[in-house]
Structure 1
Amino acid sequence: MSDATHHPQETKDQRSPEEIERLTKLHDSFKPIWLTETIQLDPLLPSDKDALLEYLNNPQVHQWLVGPPNPYKPEDADLWIKSRVDRMTKDGTPLNFVFRDMTRGGKAIGSVGVSDESDDNLEGDDTGYWLAPEYRGQGLMAKALKMMLRKISIDQVGKRKFNGHAFEGNWASRRTMEKAGFVFQPDIQKIVFKDGKEIKIWTLRLYLTEEDIANLEIIPEATPLPSLVRRN
């Protein structure tokens, strides 16, 4: 997995409490996207704190992540949740979503995020993600990444160039990006430091022309199980 989007950032400007409240309501009210008949992509909410603590302290998840502290403490989750209004497009769409298993009461079981960075900035990460171990191997992340790139970064933000990384040896993450169109860059050599150790990372990039975008696969939302549709 890769989770370079899990870096709480300070607000770029000084917002009033009223503006923060408005943005929070806008963020939290965003309509969920049905990824499968039982799993939604939905904005990060304060109620997801326990799931963040559970999974980001799971060695099978943490081993592939650069950003989150280890151990992941309640104050880390609070900071990340609080910073969610700083991860939105100009149109008010969240840049980070969580996977929710609606058969488990909407429990957050993963995260996927994309970027609104300028195409001129190809040093960081334009995507980041993690998924609970028990949900891997089902194609969920590749589908979610394609949907997020198209619906948000491409259509809303207007991005055409993307940069991504995976730890060397993390073939699952590399294949996920490749399924979304990213291409491995063998000539780019990078390292990161994790838990005091130097780790080599792969760089993958995606460049799109207008013709590419016109031919992109349209990924429709899934139809949820009737029993999982919330009724007013």
Structure 2
Amino acid sequence: MSHSQLYPLEINSATGEPFFRLPSPNDNIIITPPRAKDEQAVVPILNDPGVYQWLEGPPFPYTPEHAASWIPLIVNAAKAVLDELKEEECVNPGGPLKAVGDCPVRMIREVKKDGTDVYIGDIGFRRCLYEDVLDPKERKEVIAANDRKEVGDPTICWSIGNYLAPSHHGRGIMSMAFGLLLGAWAIPRMKVRSMRGYTFVGNTGSVRVFEKNGYILKGIVDNGKVVRGEKKLLNVLYWNYQESKSS
């Protein structure tokens, strides 16, 4: 049976936007591509202490100017994947599903009763930065080697970054979103077979999200990380496709 190159994404019949919908009881939560107007929505969430204390990358305080730099980058990255798949559909209609190097949907939104939606979080894949490799030279080498691998290479090691508005914590949304993207897209469409996860020690919620999706906590490392003047230790978690299938 042949499928559209966007399979298994659903398509919004009114807007043409692809999306995934979480299963019940969170079926009012969808994951869509980034939108330009997300620049306004991300700022208050990334300035909430329930979010920024557990993140390293986004600057704090997070300003509209930061959002104006970041959102176009991920909008264009998602569009590039979608354009690649649409081109494949035209060139090779009915052909095998093409492996791609990213997931075109990442923004988590709550759909209201009137059909509108509200931005509540983000979950995105990237190639691993090997935070648990402590020697700087070795780390630089393994990152470069991983980045050189061709799209679809099952030996690529991946990581994921995510956050959710504190108003929606405790409902299992991130665990379900992670599991959905992993099973429906990352494994079949990106050929993800190996992942590493890193969380600040103390962030028990993120550790649970990883463990619910088959990660194994390997230990704690001190790689000298200092974030906003505070020393941070890292939980290190590993995920392997074969091990996750057998568990």
Partner residue, 2:77: 86
Aligned residue pairs, count:
185
CA distance in 2, matches of 1:95, 1:71: 28
Q: Which SS does the other structure have where 2:233 is aligned?
A: strand
Task: Decide whether the 8 Å contact of 2:18 with 2:105 is kept in 1.
Answer: no
Task: Decide whether the 8 Å contact of 1:32 with 1:42 is kept in 2.
Answer: yes
CA distance in 1, matches of 2:189, 2:224: 32
Q: What do the CA deviations read for 1:147-191 (whole angstroms, capped 9, x no partner)?
A: 111222211111110011111011110010000001111265434
Partner residue, 1:17: none
CA distance in 1, matches of 2:179, 2:119: 20
2:189 counterpart letter in structure 1: Q
**1:25-44 correspondence runs (5 A):** 30-35=17-22, 36-44=26-34
Give runs of ≥4 in structure 1 deviating > 4 Å.
87-93, 116-122
CA distance in 2, matches of 1:121, 1:205: 13
Task: Decide whether the 8 Å contact of 2:215 with 2:238 is kept in 1.
Answer: yes
RMSD: 2.6
- Whether 1:180 and 2:213 are equivalent positions in the alignment is yes
Query: TM-score of the superposition, structure 2-length normalised?
Result: 0.67
**1:137-216 correspondence runs (5 A):** 137-186=170-219, 188-209=221-242, 212-213=244-245
Q: Which SS does the other structure have where 2:106 is aligned?
A: strand
CA distance in 1, matches of 2:220, 2:227: 23
Q: Which SS does the other structure have where 1:130 is aligned?
A: strand
Query: TM-score of the superposition, structure 1-length normalised?
Result: 0.71
2:111 counterpart letter in structure 1: M
Partner residue, 1:110: 121
Q: Name structure 1 gaps, 5 residues minimum.
A: 1-27, 217-232
* Greater relative contact order (Cα < 8 A, sep 6+): 1
CA distance in 1, matches of 2:223, 2:39: 32
| Distance verdict in 2 for CA 1:152–1:37, change over 3 Å | closer
Task: Decide whether the 8 Å contact of 2:156 with 2:193 is kept in 1.
Answer: no
Q: Which SS does the other structure have where 1:190 is aligned?
A: coil
**1:116-127 correspondence runs (5 A):** 118=146, 122=157, 126-127=159-160
Q: What do the CA deviations read for 1:36-95 (whole angstroms, capped 9, x no partner)?
A: 331111111111122101101111111111110101111211111111123665647635
Q: Which SS does the other structure have where 1:185 is aligned?
A: strand
Q: Which SS does the other structure have where 1:143 is aligned?
A: helix
> Percent identity between the aligned chains?
26
Task: Decide whether the 8 Å contact of 2:222 with 2:232 is kept in 1.
Answer: no
Task: Decide whether the 8 Å contact of 1:112 with 1:127 is kept in 2.
Answer: yes
2:56 counterpart letter in structure 1: V
In the TM superposition, residue 194 of structure 1 has moved relative to its aligned partner by: 0.8
**Structure index of larger Rg:** 2
Pick which of 131-140 and 93-102 moved more: 93-102
CA distance in 1, matches of 2:224, 2:215: 19
